Amino acid sequence: MSRRFLFLLPLVLIAALGIGFWFGLQRDPQALPSALINKPVPEFSLAAIEGSARGFRRDDLLGKVSLVNIFGSWCLACRIEHPFLMELKANGVVPVYGIDWREPDRQAGPEWLDKFGNPYRLVGDDPRSEGAIAFGVTGAPETFFVDRKGIIRYKHTGPITRDVWERKLWPIVQRLRAES
Amino acid sequence: MADRPAPARRIVVLLAVLAGLAGLGPDPAHAVLPEEVLANPAHEARARAISKELRCVVCQNQSIDDSDAELARDLRVLVRQRIVKGDSDDEVIAYVVSRYGDFVLLRPPVKGATLVLWIGPIAIVLIGLLALISYFRRAGREAENAGR
């Protein structure tokens, strides 16, 4: 009896593989799991962007829940999330720090921030990817959620939209704040 | 009589075309820019060897040695800086892995999570061989029975 249906076995196997691959294809190959989740923010120290007095370094992040956002004036998706970051700043929701990644020249970043507004508490200039590599960044925008002890707890790839913020990101900030 | 190339000549022509195509392919050594190259040739050779093992996380199917991506370039420079500072090859690779995870290694390490990658193909070939052997044995037996 069981032998009669043995010819179906390859079909079932192929179907299972197909379903597996189909789900695999839904995943974004660019969204890599961060190797730095639950690890301390690596040591880094970035110079100030032009027209700004202070740069941005690791120790700026200690003692509070904060966000580190990788952006650049060349990055279109950063333009999409920018108004929402401005809103976070205006409402004092959570401090956001910026890494200005790989600008074509010294002026591009500051001009972009002058034109659209500066949502960041501090901005570090990162022309040689020193900061980006410290955070294991593969593209912009990426946003890291850092807890009070300076440990990276979450990474968001792609623009922060109101929907993602309310559904996913704000609860993470609240959870990190609730920790002692 | 139609003028057809003899088989041997055809093969020669085919090989020549293939060789020509291979020559047209991108030269993988070209991603490294002249200003990146280290003065110390031993250092540079180590940097090249390490770069060939590291995946470009932007383009994903190239090593950072092959890739023209800006991030790949910055990673190549970082690899060279660390070599000049006196890091061993393993230390340089460990540094990059600590930032980007095992994914940056074009040859993933053998460990629990990657075991399927390493054992899987061998296991599938073995299963196939066993199935073939049992099939031919049975077929042989049946032929024997039929012949009797």
Residue B63, Cα to own-chain centre: how many angstroms? 9
Count helices and strands in chain A by DSSP H and E runs:
6, 8
**Could you give the 3-state DSSP secondary structure of residue A84?**
helix
A11-25, A145-159, B20-34, B88-102: least confidently modelled range: B20-34
CB contact under 8 A, A36 and B99: yes
The more confidently predicted of residues A1 and B75 is: B75
Q: What is the pLDDT of residue B80?
A: 95
With an 8 Å Cβ cutoff, are B99 and A35 in contact? yes
Checking if the pLDDT of B119 tops 80, the result is yes
Number of domains in chain A: 1
CA gap A141, B48 in Å, rounded: 30
Which residue of A32, A42, A135 is in closest CB contact with B57? A32
In SS3 terms, A86-123 reads as HHHHHCCCCCEEEEEECCCCCCHHHHHHHHHCCCCCCE
In this model, does residue B108 exceed pLDDT 90?
Answer: no
**CB A133 to CB B74 under 8 A?**
yes
Q: Which residues contact A94 (CB under 8 A, 6 or more apart)?
A: A65, A66, A67, A88, A173
A128 contacts B74? CB cut-off 8 A: yes
Residues of B with CB under 8 A from a CB of A: 57-58, 60, 70-71, 74-75, 77-78, 97-103
Domain boundaries, chain B: 28-109, 110-148
Residue B18: is its pLDDT beyond 70? no
Q: Are strands A96-101 and A66-71 parallel, antiparallel or unpaired?
A: parallel
**What is the DSSP annotation of B22-89?**
HHHS--GGGGS-GGGS-SSHHHHHHHHHHHHHBB-TTTSSSBTTT---HHHHHHHHHHHHHHHTT--H
Q: If you measure CA to CA, which chain A residue comes closest to B95? A: A134
Nearest CA in chain B to A102: B70
Average pLDDT, chain B: 82
Per-residue pLDDT of chain A (180 residues; tens, 9 = 90+): 567 888 888 899 999 999 999 988 887 766 666 788 999 999 999 999 999 999 999 999 999 999 999 999 999 999 999 999 999 999 999 999 999 999 999 999 999 999 999 999 999 999 999 999 999 998 889 999 999 999 999 999 999 999 999 999 999 999 999 996
Interface contact flag, A35 B100, Cβ < 8 Å: yes
- Are residues B101 and A33, on separate chains, in Cβ contact within 8 Å? yes
Tell whether A3 is covered by a domain. Answer: no
What's the CA gap between B16 and B130, in Å, rounded? 41
* Ranges A111-115, B66-70, B103-107, B108-112, most confident: A111-115
Distance from the first to the final alpha carbon of chain A:
63
Enumerate the residues of chain A whose CB falls inside 8 A of the CB of residue B114. none
- The one-letter amino acid code at A4 reads R
Q: Evaluate if residue B81 carries a pLDDT over 90.
A: yes
pLDDT for the residue numbered B3? 55
Given this model, what pLDDT does residue B17 score? Answer: 60
Cβ-based neighbours of B50, under 8 Å, separated by 6 or more: B79, B83, B89, B92, B93
The whole-angstrom separation of Cα A121 and Cα A179 is: 23
The predicted pLDDT at position B14 comes to: 59
| CB contact set of B104 (below 8 Å; sequence gap of 6+) | B54, B55, B57, B96, B97
A10 touches chain B (CB under 8 A): no
Q: What does the block give as tokens for B123?
A: 């296991």
- Give pLDDT, residue A73: 95
C-beta of residue B17 within 8 angstroms of C-beta of residue B31: no
Query: Do residue A32 and residue B71 have CB atoms under 8 angstroms apart?
Result: no
- pLDDT score of B61: 82
- Domain membership of residue A4 (yes or no) is no
Q: Which CATH number does the domain housing residue A126 bear?
A: 3.40.30.10
Are the beta carbons of B71 and A138 separated by less than 8 Å? yes
* Best residue in A3, A17, A32, A46 for a mutation probing chain B (most B CBs within 10 Å): A32
Residues A100/A123, Cβ–Cβ less than 8 Å: yes
Pairing type for strands A56-57 and A66-71 reads: unpaired
What band does B1 get if pLDDT is binned at 50, 70 and 90? very low
CATH superfamily of the B28-109 domain: Cytochrome C biogenesis protein (1.10.8.640)
pLDDT value of residue B86: 94
Residue B116 has pLDDT above 90, yes or no: no
Range of the domain at A117: 32-178
Q: Does residue B36 or residue A69 have the better pLDDT?
A: A69
Task: Give the strands of the sheet with A123-126, arranged side by side.
Answer: A39-40, A151-157, A142-146, A66-71, A96-101, A123-126, A45-48, A56-57
